[in-house]
Amino acid sequence: MAQPRVVIVGAGFGGLAAAKALRNTPAGVVVIDRTNHHLFEPLLYQVATSVLAPGQIAAPIRGILGRHKNTTVILGEVTGVDKDKKCVFSSDADRENVPVPYDYLVLATGVSQSYFGHNEFAQYAPGLKTLVDAVAVRNKVLQAFEQAEAEEDPSRHRDLLTFILVGAGPTGVEMAAALAVLVRSSLKSDFRRIDPTSARILLVDMAPRVLATFSEDLSKAASKRLQDLGVEIRLGRSVDHIDADGVVVAGERIVSKTVIWTAGVAPSPAGKWLNVETDRAGRVRVQPDLSVPGHPEIFVVGDTASLDEHGKPLPGVAQVAIQQGRYAGKLIHKRIASHPAPKPFKYFDKGNMAVVGKGFAVLQTGKIHLSGFTAWLAWAAVHLQFLATSSLRASVFVQWVWTYITGQRGSRLIVNHRGPDKETRSAQAPLGAAAASK
């Protein structure tokens, strides 16, 4: 008798947790992801601000699951689900909409950047959801200083060195603080014609306070820390327009060549694939066991799922995805092994934390509220623990210690992955090489 097949779509925190829970299950496990790597998204801002290199926060999925003998990894993008035929459709560079059958399906497809109906902002204000995004933001930030150094007109320096972050949640706060530390320490002595410490960093949000999901005392502590670092905070103000010359905030034009979007996310189209009930954001309404109503063989976990506990929806954070992925994997294992089903899923809240520059973080878990160096140490320990491999943990730890002591960054490279065009390559080729090609 053929073994049942479990298909997991997405190798983020939720998908990877589900795959690990199925390691010893008598089933064939297929993991499909559009990239070949698992990404530790909470540290993307450190790639964007040159603290870490891309390879320090991502690891090949095949390497992570290499010892799972029952698991196959497929590089492809899932574009739909047929619930009746029990298959998903996957596309890659050579094939489109290839059906991949399943007996059990786990959708852990995550989120994408949301511009709240203003998708035209995307070309001027990149988000921070992928490694490509992080490298693009790093390029944009470093190029701003290079352009200012080369600019002959000092009056343009202020515009070039004005950085605007839209969104004062954890990503925006962490990015703003890291930028402030970058320009006031690491870059301070690198330029001759400009003063990097004159850079202006603005954090803008419609919310009444930064880190709105944290307690008010921790929000105030984070706000004070940002202001001490030189970050300008503008709250309760909407971003009306973004273009190549900057932003319009509550009717005020602020000139800037570097705008970064850290405001919101949108779930994957899994709800449309399944044609089931979703919440207002588009997340799939799941049962207490994380299955789709009417389809006990389909599970949705992480940012794509909507599940209420104590009258409130669970937050879109890594811990929720990890716990849900692990639960779905264990439930499938028990069904295949004919064991009693576990109790309905319950989220164990381990708390929230956000780092606000060098040696300072805020931490909230239950009635415990911490801010400062102790919270920063806890933040560092937790983030190291959840990196995918021991080699990444060692690399990041060493880099953090080195950066903390010396202020030197891990990767301050401007990398154009598209490469120069043919004409540019020809113009830049050495004379001998050009002559040899004739």
Where in the sequence numbering do the catalytic residues fall? 174
DSSP state of 186: I
Report the half-sphere exposure of 227 (CA within 13 A, side-chain side).
9
Strand 291-292, strand 265-267: pairing: unpaired
Report the Cα 335 to chain-centroid distance in Å. Answer: 33
Q: How far apart are CA 394 and CA 405, in angstroms?
A: 17
Question: What does each C-alpha distance from 273 to 1, 7, 64, 68, 82 come to in angstroms?
Answer: 30, 15, 28, 29, 8
DSSP state of 68: -
Q: For the chain, count helices (H), then strands (E).
A: 13, 27
Coil, strand or helix at 177: helix
Which residues are 313's β-sheet partners?
A: 308
> 255 is written with which tokens?
């000139």
> 45 is written with which tokens?
């801002």
Please give the span between the terminal C-alpha atoms of the chain, in angstroms, as a whole number.
66
Contact yes or no for 83/298 (Cβ under 8 A): yes
**Which helix (H) or strand (E) covers residue 368, if one does?**
strand 368-372
Among 220, 269, 258, smallest CA distance to 114 is for: 269
Report the half-sphere exposure of 21 (CA within 13 A, side-chain side).
23
Q: Please state whether 105 falls in left (phi above 0), alpha (psi between -120 and 50) or beta.
A: beta
Among 236, 229, 230, 228, smallest CA distance to 210 is for: 236
Contact yes or no for 328/18 (Cβ under 8 A): yes
Contact yes or no for 162/254 (Cβ under 8 A): yes
E strand intervals along 211-318? 231-235, 239-243, 246-249, 252-255, 258-261, 265-267, 284-285, 291-292, 295-300, 305-306, 308-309, 312-313
